[in-house]
Amino acid sequence: MTGFALGAEQEEWCGQLRALAADRLRPLADKGEPGRVNRPLLAALGELGLLERVFTSGALELCLLRESLAYGCTEAETALALQGLGAHPVLRSGTPQQRERWLPQVRAGRAVAAFALSEPGAGSDAAALALEAVRDGGGTADGGGGGAGGGWRLSGEKCWISNAPEADFYTVFARTGEGPAAKGVTAFLVPADRPGLSGEPLDMLSPHPIGRLSFDGVPVGPQDLLGEPGRGFRVAMDTLNLFRPSVGAFAVGMARAALDATLAYTGARRAFGGVLGDLQAVGHRVAEMATRTEAARLLVYAAAGAYDAGSADVPRRSAMAKLLATETAQYVVDHAVQLHGAVALQRGHLLEHLYREVRAPRIYEGASEVQRTIIAKELYR
């Protein structure tokens, strides 16, 4: 890849992924229930080797994968991305036993992972999380916590957790109190069958599986740690710095799908003695949609390239990529709906689907306002 274009092999791979998403994954997605984990779809992603790519690819390849799947099947893209988000901390910070137990199952699409950071009172301000981990030196009879090294009991609530409450395990961030704010947060791997853990689904605008989790003295022990006590915020940020540019790629995929649909529609729809595309107002708006989409695409690729190169400015670039791409996708999809008119508001239309999908990425994994704060801090550093 140059600074301005993908190589021929990359373009070919992206084309294959778009076709695969439309032909193989879209039918499975259509059979799923909105707001629920689609296990047949996950199994297909595993069989096709796409989940494996999440854990073996660099940031740029992850972006190309997410963008291409989003173009043809947003549900497949989201299912794949949530597996990566939930399991990446295990890959990077887990013990050999944790990785051996869970990662092969995640890669195969047989185990569902989830990233449990947000809380009712700690959404954008993740360092303010209140899920409490209280020392439990006596251990537990079921082996879930304690032991010779002592353990903890988790008490509190998580909210707006993707794949909850149907995931098989959760990467959970709790306050262990080694220091104030972010310095007192620890990451744990918590299997879904741990006693005291329950949850319920939330009915959201977008069709993603999202829920609430309740922790009633859930036992965890040293063997459940992801990294060191008090270093959990680093685990979270390491994951988010990788996935933020690829959230931008997801947004770019939706924007490109909306743009292509608009070009096809306005180029054929007859009105006022010609086609809509002949009207200067329409042509100029489509030109603006295309320009913004291309700018977002290039910024996403640049951020991914910086991550792969180990650049020091990854937090700033990742935040810029997510900010511009998600805001651009909202703009493009909104204007695509406007240019299509009432037909795009019908249930089942591509743009009706994208209109519901495109709103959430401006909030999750750090709202647009949070990205601006990160960018400003990095600029003034």
Question: Please, are residues 239 and 89 in contact by the beta-carbon 8 Å criterion?
Answer: yes
* pLDDT at site 244: 86
CATH 1.20.1530.20 fits 8-108, yes or no: no
What rounded mean pLDDT belongs to the chain? 92
Domains in the chain: boundaries: 8-108, 113-230, 234-380
* pLDDT at site 173: 96
State the pTM of this model.
0.91
As a whole number of angstroms, the distance between CA 146 and CA 142 comes to 10
Q: Is 186 helix (H, G, I), strand (E, B) or coil?
A: strand
Please tell me the chain's helix, strand, coil percentages from 3-state DSSP, rounded to the nearest 5: 60, 15, 25
Structure tokens at 188: 């744990």
* pLDDT at site 137: 65
As a whole number of angstroms, the distance between CA 135 and CA 276 comes to 67
* pLDDT at site 3: 61
Question: 55 CB contacts (<8 Å, ≥6 apart)?
Answer: 84, 87, 88, 91, 103, 107
How many other C-beta atoms lie within 10 A of the C-beta of residue 126? 20
Q: Is the peptide bond before 104 cis (omega within 30 degrees of 0)?
A: no
Element (H, E) at 185: strand 185-191
Structure tokens at 267: 């180029």
* pLDDT at site 183: 83
**Nearest-CA neighbor of 192 among 105, 113, 95, 135?**
113
As a whole number of angstroms, the distance between CA 192 and CA 149 comes to 23
Percent of the chain at pLDDT above 70? 95
As a whole number of angstroms, the distance between CA 210 and CA 360 comes to 11
DSSP 145: S
**Cα–chain-centroid distance for residue 106?**
16
The fold for domain 234-380 equals Butyryl-CoA Dehydrogenase, subunit A; domain 3 (1.20.140)
**From 67, 75, 119, 365, the catalytic residue:** 365
* Per-residue pLDDT reduced to its tens digit, 215-266: 999 999 999 999 999 999 999 988 988 888 899 999 999 999 999 999 999 9
Residue 365 is a catalytic residue? yes
The fold for domain 113-230 equals Butyryl-CoA Dehydrogenase, subunit A; domain 2 (2.40.110)
Q: Is 261 helix (H, G, I), strand (E, B) or coil?
A: helix
* pLDDT at site 149: 56
* pLDDT at site 145: 42
> What is each CA distance from 332 to 78, 82, 194, 215, 340, in whole angstroms?
20, 24, 44, 40, 12
* pLDDT at site 139: 39
Question: Please, are residues 251 and 329 in contact by the beta-carbon 8 Å criterion?
Answer: yes
Same fold flag, 8-108 and 113-230 = no
Residue where the block lists tokens 């977008």: 206
Beta bridge partners of 200: 212
DSSP string of 31-43, one letter each residue: HSPTTS--HHHHH
Element (H, E) at 282: helix 280-308
* pLDDT at site 199: 97
* pLDDT at site 133: 95
* Ranges of the chain with pLDDT below 50: 138-148
Side-chain-side CA neighbours of 353 within 13 Å: the count stands at 18
